[in-house]
Amino acid sequence: MKLTGITKVELTAHVSKNLDTICYRGSAPLAHLALISQSDVFDQVANPNGLQRDLSPKHASDAYEYASREKDPDYPRAYPEVVLNVRDKKILGIVPQSSQSTDSGANGDVRLTFDLGALQASKVYVSRVDGNHRLYYAAGDERQRDPILVEVPFQIHVGLTREQERSLFVDINSNQKGLNTSHLAIMKGRLTPEEEEVRDHLDRWIARKLSEDPQSPWHGLIHLGGSKKGSRAQGLTRLVNFASVQGGTQKLISKSQYLHDLNDPEVKYIIIRNYWSAVQTVFATEWADAKNHLLLKNVGVWSLSFLGAAIIDRCIPRMQYTVKDMAAHLQRCQGAFDWRKDATGPKAVSGMSGNQAALIIAGEMAQELSDDTGGGLKDLQEKIKSELAVPDGQHRLTK
């Protein structure tokens, strides 16, 4: 239910300096910050002097869900400051709260009073310089969202010009370095309980196991994001990013019909790990000399992931899942392409990149495969589980 009927919002703030600006900082209910501020969305026709990017409803909804979820002492939440600028000073009253406080820049506490009754719908009185998506649903809506009354930090400026607003907006948004996708995926995986990770992010779970499992051909080769100094100090070279392997795993899983039908995630992992071990065996030169070949680059990982779905879908109906089984199929298409970086000619992979190129490469390699099938999904799953089982009920990760 949307928060309504409030004519004034009072905030307690501290007069503060932030590099070249004097501002007011404090914390307040997120819904109250939403009530006092408005978005000024850039539109090259309707609002060419606007500031904000177009709203992403999903991004705003995710921000709402994050702020409104139940408190978990093990995983505390935190928001960066919401940055606002009061364009029209008529709606704001500033009252010092101590003898050291003034509204002109001296340190101290002040009370900021916003007159909501004076706001008109068509005008931006308090601009959202940073935090529009966090604020968009914060006051609730006419549907299922309730107001968010938990407190978040704010930074309020008064009287910045449009150009000064725009300058801060650019500084805040253009100077942020995007987080490495591999690093982000690993951090998310570590925060997610394993049962939930397997259910909702099977590709990430399998990719992480490929990285951590000593019997995996990818063990020690995957860069998980963050610094590489530790690896370099040990003389290790991480040849591929985690995001590439996760992306390849997602493509393999989504393309394979038979993997989808298996209901044991550990079995799915064993099959995928064995497939990559077969790749390492058949393409031994390309794998060992990754610096001079493209096999372990994105185009190679993704091409062989798409191909892996085709090979696995030929192996499973035949009750095959071992490295030897899959290597036999890979050998049929081993010579379809030249993976050397400096290769030229019709078989050269050099110069090819992207998802579409990976599909083309995998499709041409798959044409070399046999299409004989014969079946037993349930029997195969039980066979793998029985061969991997150990007395404590865990799986033995053998090839």
Query: What are the residue ranges spanned by the domains of the chain?
Result: 8-174, 181-388
- Asked if the model's pLDDT at residue 108 lies above 90, the reply is no
- Quick one: 350 exposed, middle or buried, by C-beta within 10 A (0-12, 13-18, 19+)? middle
Question: DSSP alpha helices (H): ranges in 158-241?
Answer: 162-174, 181-191, 194-200, 202-212, 229-233
Q: What is the structure's pLDDT at 379?
A: 62
Question: DSSP alpha helices (H): ranges in 192-290?
Answer: 194-200, 202-212, 229-233, 242-255, 257-261, 265-282, 284-288
pLDDT, tens digit, for every residue of 214-250?
A: 999 999 899 887 666 766 766 667 789 999 999 999 9
Q: Which of 165-169, 285-289, 337-341, 360-364 has the lowest mean pLDDT?
A: 165-169
The whole-model pTM stands at 0.62
pLDDT, tens digit, for every residue of 60-83?
A: 999 999 999 988 888 899 999 999
pLDDT, tens digit, for every residue of 1-57?
A: 677 788 999 999 999 999 989 999 999 999 999 999 999 888 777 888 888 888 889
Q: How many CB atoms lie within 10 A of CB 226?
A: 12
- Asked if the model's pLDDT at residue 195 lies above 90, the reply is no
Sign of CA dihedral 297, 298, 299, 304: positive
308, two tokens: 């892996």
Q: What is the structure's pLDDT at 169?
A: 86
Choose from 2-11, 184-193, 249-258 the range with maximum mean pLDDT: 249-258
**pLDDT band at residue 396 using 50, 70 and 90 as cut-offs:** very low
Q: What is the structure's pLDDT at 322?
A: 96
Assess contact for 306 and 362: CB atoms under 8 A. Answer: yes
